[in-house]
Every structure is written in structure tokens, then in C-alpha cells.
Amino acid sequence: MLDLLNGPWGFMRERTKRWLPSLREPVAGIPIGWLLLFLAFANLMLAFPGIDLAVAGWFYTPGAGFEALGTPWERLLYHSVEVLMVAGNLALILVWVLNRRQRRRGAAALLGLSGRKLALLLCLLALLPGLVVNQIFKEHWGRARPVQVSALGGDRPFTPAFVHTGARGGSFCSGHVAAAAYLIAVAHLLGGPRSGWFIAAVLYTALVGLARMAAGGHFLSDVLASMFLVLLGYLLLRHLFCRAEDPETRPDAANGERQLR
């Protein structure tokens, strides 16, 4: 009896071992697993758009609206993003200048910040939160914010995420969450995924997303879409900028790993 049970389970384990490495295989620096997860998220939001309304309803009180809007904690998180963007990127540039003046390179450089990594981060900030999220999606997608839709006290129709309307509405995606997610990329690149800075950046981004939803400014899908876009953009740009510096993304390292398998 035990042999009969071990047979199917052993087969499943072998299939799992074959699947997991393939999900980690990168396409232009982006693991296939992340791309599939993004597609699954997009299809979930399209198939069940009521998820957005249900989550937004947690923060909405009939007759009172979104009561978190304008509260000190919501305003603090809202404006902190702008401050951190300016102060954080000026600090990065200053660290790079110090490394250049003191001729610190490689492991000796402060924060391990090289010119390539600085260029990567500045391009990421300009292209994803700046161009893709704020200038393309928010300006031209037309999705109404939660506070504007009729189901939540407004006067405009609700539209699912990833559905272009062409109307005026800046809900999809969230610019503030995209900017906060940029800090996750900074912490990951300079400190690694196990650093305290990385954990703090993830928590901060989650709080910013919570604040934007509680204020009726964005739906859950807006928040998650912004995080996905910045993540995928970061992985792509890291592949383009830092293959020569990052042992995980070097072609020779990848070939060596395949040979070990």
C-alpha cells in the first residue's frame, strides 16, 4: 500500500522540481513566475471586479464617505512620499559623488553605489512612477477613483482595472504607491532582500497603499498594479544596467548554473 502511495507522490515531486526552476528562468531579467503572477492578477481583477468595490467598501461609511481622508496619519503618509523622493534621491547622488571623489569602488564604495546603479535607479524613477504610471496611465486611462463612483457616494460609473475608458479619472494606477515601491527597489539593490531597509521599504509601501485606499483615492487593484509595474521595471532595468556587476545576472554565471544542474 505504501509503495502505491509513494508512486504518485514521487511523480508529483519530480514534476514540481521541473516546474520550479523553469518559473525562475528569466525573460529579459524578469523571472517567468513574476510575469505569470502579474497576468494572473490582471485576469483576476477583470474576472471579479467586485473585489475592488468590496475592499473599498471597508473604508466607506454611508453618509460620511471615506472618513480617513484628511486625517493626520493619512496626510502624513501622503506628503511623506514627496519628501522621501526628493531627500532620498539627493542623498543617493551625494553618496555617489563622495564615492567618486574618494575613489571608492566595488565593495569599498558607500552602500555599494556605483554609477551604473545610480543610473538604474534614476531611470527607474523617471520611467515607471514618472512616465508610465503618472503620465500614461493616470492621465489617459480614465478610471474613476473610489470616492467618485456611484456605488460609494459619487456620481460616476465604476470600471474594472485594466479597462480603458478615456474619461477623466486618475485612479489607475497609484502614483504615490509607485513612488513608494521605488524605495523597495532602492533597498533591494543597495541592501539586499534581507536587509532592514528592504523590510522597512516594503512596510512603508504597504502603509502608503493603505492610506490611499482608506482616503478613497485608489482601489486595491490600483495599488497592486503600481507595485507590479515598478517591480517588473526594476528587474528589467537591472538586467540592462547591472549584468556586469551583479553575479546573479551575468551570462557566464547563468551558464555555469545550468552546467551544475
pLDDT digits (tens, 9 = 90+) for 94-106: 999 999 888 877 7
The b-or-e profile of 137-159 (16+ CB within 10 A means b, else e) is bbeebbbbbbbbbeebbbebebb
Output the pTM of the full model.
Answer: 0.84
Q: Nearest to residue 51, comparing CAs of 207, 225, 168?
A: 225
Q: Name which residue leads in pLDDT, 138 or 48.
A: 48
User: Residues 106-123: what's their mean pLDDT?
Assistant: 87
- 11-20, 29-38, 70-79: least confident range: 11-20
% residues pLDDT > 70 (the chain): 85
| Residue with the larger pLDDT of the pair 176 and 253 | 176
The tens digit of pLDDT for each residue in 204-213 reads: 999 999 999 9
State yes or no: pLDDT of 73 exceeds 90. Answer: yes
Cell of 210: 493603505
* Sign, CA torsion 148/149/154/155: positive
Residue 3 confidence (pLDDT) above 60: no
